[in-house]
Structure 1
């Protein structure tokens, strides 16, 4: 234990804040426990089921379970598609972005950041899927981005909401995260070193009780003592403290240059800290589909294995209902059947199935399944313009949460990656013109969400050009004089996310045009000289003919 890290008053204040955050989160937990019961394929955490215990026993319909799986998989595919390079750094200053050197640096930086994120052992793909899954379940999901202790790159980990408590700044963005978790004495020794442990932890290690668990509170929040000129934990703008709750002893005090835990929320209402998920919004529909499915299963069971009606059992003590079973004495001498099926509810099954489909449709819509089908339809035969228009219209479905996800998850994670990469020398230095301007890059994502955001603008441009084309055929192309091609061509390329290296430098374009003009003029001059030479030859021939006469 390092006495220099200890602060009794600070520990009391941290514990008081933790109590306040627990009280604020309390009203949500009953709802999250019900979510855990309805979605048994997750880790749980709120339902208090023992490890290996069975959850989901109340489910008779699993539409919501499969819808969540598609929601998570498609969410990853349209935001961080691993199969293509989607990270695009840029500068907010348009004048800087007109400089080719700056654009090429942005392209190279984006390629490097993509390689860092998707390197082996980072676990980004797994964390991203878990992040979207948790957003679909609870509506709030924290992701931790950190350097590996051995210096071999980054790792990403989605933290379960059950161990996470959040607070927001004045603007409503999450800037404080309290994590409460349990670790064994052995694990804590591996993480912090034996010298940092509390007396009880050391006692457990030295007396064969290394698997004894201890409750740890990790606080990550803005540093009230920030002073960049200091050499200890005060030099970081983001403070980090690990507190052993039982003994009120700090194991470590440090910090970060950027927020390591990005917390995103699917959607919120005014005055809400924690988000609301698609699962929460359609919980009544999930209940309804399950209740109706249970009823139809009972009705189908009755229809397949109905009760039996007797006029008089007349000594019948046993019925064989198995295939090929023999039931003597159940037919009268004149062939009349003495036993009949009791009428069941099979006549109402089609109506019940229709009602279940209505509830299932509500669930699928909440999880944006219709939207994802449009994006992944392999049979689409639409033109580029039609695709852009459809994406723009369907983008209405994702706008309520897309901008929030970009602000609360994508941007903080990307900024942390860039900060670490620059500090570790994993990115080349920014161009001198950028450093002189004191600019810092922002990250744009070249994915389906970005395409949808741009689709309307690009679609309008394409429709305008298509409308001008018939007119240009009438006036021999004069209509196109209204188009500034020098702005249009690179502008559409930017909107479509074309790599800057694929677009020529304006100076090179000017040289090509100058050369083309020179070649054209040379051809004209050559043709003129050929015509002049031909005319001179004709005159000479004419003179010779006259002289001969």
Structure 2
């Protein structure tokens, strides 16, 4: 069932009232990090000049730098552009099925990073660090093919969930188009009479629209018409309360990942909120430090109005002569500033902000190259820091993103014909990003330690004159496969079980042939020796 224009406008007002109590927190977080990302929370459109003025209020940029480091670390750890970060599994797949799924994963990954994903994804992670959430729209690029990613400003997005505590599956976006753009976008016959007149008389006049994307309660399975698909999309001209476009999607086209949920709300806050008190104190302390520095450089003076010297008109500076009745009529004063305390306090607050935003651990450390043990400890620390965050982002960001991209590519026919054995089987997304692999390093370490321990026990048994049976407990083939999967080794590098069996069978045949040839040579040599011996006896 599709909602009417009146219902959509009414629901939009309800969602606005539910989001309003949280907006001041997001506004403050953007003020101390990236003011331009908060466009819409201050005014309809923030100009670059206004963003620069807000940025100029920040005396210290530690918060901005730390937030950018955290967003970059999450981006590089989850969705790196230089390596495949996900795969597809159906469970108990054959070698042919595994090859097809790996090829599909690589095609989707190449198309994702061949689009504008890297720029939109990074800006989205800036939003999730600053405000705790973002909204990324995913669709097919109907002009050039592939994907197109559109990051919606969160100030214009209103969300809800159809199930308590569930993922966001209802998104309303309020935006404006010029009258000319509206006619070109929706067609002259679909917009209101007022918008048609504006397009002729005042084409640059702005018209407000709202786009509602939500799951349909009833839909046709396997439907091809957009109006019958599981996810509804309705665009309404707000002033006229007129539906200008009705469409639909097979999958939810908007992903809305969240950092830390606000209780009894679908919205979230980011780690910047935790560092906000320190950022405010740091900014104020730096402002006072600059004022004290001004006094320290320019100095502070006391002057006596002795009839000759008028302190109200005296200007201190180079190449200036000050006329006074006595040299004691004007003296410098000590400002009383304690720069040592301010420097210590500023450094402490900067360190606290970096620690809260994990920038002190995620950023590359200066100094000599780290040993393998130091690298392992550092990776384990990063895994502990980002592990809980990665779990939520994996469920609310990566899973729906890959699902949506797979659906678009499969319907476009760019993935080729799937094996018939995969028909009707559900697939799961398997993550092989650096962050996902780091979470499996403990499994790799456990395998290595177990195999090494069994090998040492077998050597001890052999040294004691016993049969070395300890290695009988280890399936080396399975250990090697599990280790390769945990490390994210491409399946094209790991030989299939059939190929391994053929190689071993061929090796046995070659060894058997070599042994038979050696035996024949020995028999021939013995026969020749016997013949020579008999000839000598005759």
* TM-score, length-scaled by structure 2: 0.89
TM superposition shift of 1:217: 1.1
Q: State the partner residue of 1:432.
A: 420
Q: State the partner residue of 2:402.
A: 414
Any idea what the Cα deviations from partners look like across 1:298-344, whole Å, max 9, x if unmatched? 22222222212458868345766545655677986xxxx87543222
CA distance in 2, matches of 1:377, 1:442: 40
Matched, 1:401 2:407: no
User: What is the aligned counterpart of 1:351 among 332, 341, 352?
Assistant: 341
Q: What's the C-alpha RMSD, in Å, of the aligned pairs?
A: 2.9
Distance 1:405 1:524, change over 3 A: same
Distance 1:50 1:489, change over 3 A: closer
Find the residue that maps to 1:512 and give its secondary structure: helix
- Equivalent residue pairs, number: 525
Distance 1:308 1:516, change over 3 A: same
TM superposition shift of 1:524: 3.5
User: What is the aligned counterpart of 1:114 among 109, 112, 130?
Assistant: 109
Find the residue that maps to 1:215 and give its secondary structure: strand
Find the residue that maps to 1:501 and give its secondary structure: coil
TM superposition shift of 1:525: 3.6
Distance 1:311 1:541, change over 3 A: farther
Q: State the partner residue of 1:71.
A: 70
1:180-191 matched pairs, under 5 angstroms: 180-191=174-185
Distance 1:536 1:286, change over 3 A: same
Any idea what the Cα deviations from partners look like across 1:128-156, whole Å, max 9, x if unmatched? 11101111111010000012343633210
CA distance in 1, matches of 2:443, 2:366: 23
User: What is the aligned counterpart of 1:298 among 291, 301, 320?
Assistant: 291
CA distance in 1, matches of 2:144, 2:287: 54
Q: State the partner residue of 1:240.
A: 233
Kept in 2, the 8 Å contact 1:68–1:136? The answer is: yes
CA distance in 1, matches of 2:135, 2:354: 25
Q: State the partner residue of 2:485.
A: 494
Distance 1:65 1:192, change over 3 A: same
CA distance in 1, matches of 2:82, 2:336: 51
Distance 1:537 1:319, change over 3 A: farther
Matched, 1:444 2:433: no
Extract unaligned runs of 5+ from structure 2.
463-467
Distance 1:42 1:378, change over 3 A: farther
CA distance in 1, matches of 2:102, 2:367: 30
Distance 1:326 1:534, change over 3 A: farther
User: What is the aligned counterpart of 1:307 among 300, 310, 323?
Assistant: 300
User: What is the aligned counterpart of 1:254 among 247, 250, 259?
Assistant: 247
Q: State the partner residue of 1:506.
A: 497
* TM-score, length-scaled by structure 1: 0.87
CA distance in 2, matches of 1:183, 1:488: 59
CA distance in 2, matches of 1:125, 1:18: 31
CA distance in 2, matches of 1:311, 1:204: 71
User: What is the aligned counterpart of 2:99 among 96, 104, 108?
Assistant: 104
Q: State the partner residue of 1:453.
A: 439
Distance 1:324 1:478, change over 3 A: farther
TM superposition shift of 1:360: 1.5
User: What is the aligned counterpart of 2:30 among 36, 44, 52?
Assistant: 36
Extract unaligned runs of 5+ from structure 1.
none
Any idea what the Cα deviations from partners look like across 1:2-53, whole Å, max 9, x if unmatched? xxx9x8x822222222122111101011122222332334352212275332
CA distance in 2, matches of 1:160, 1:83: 28
Distance 1:83 1:378, change over 3 A: farther
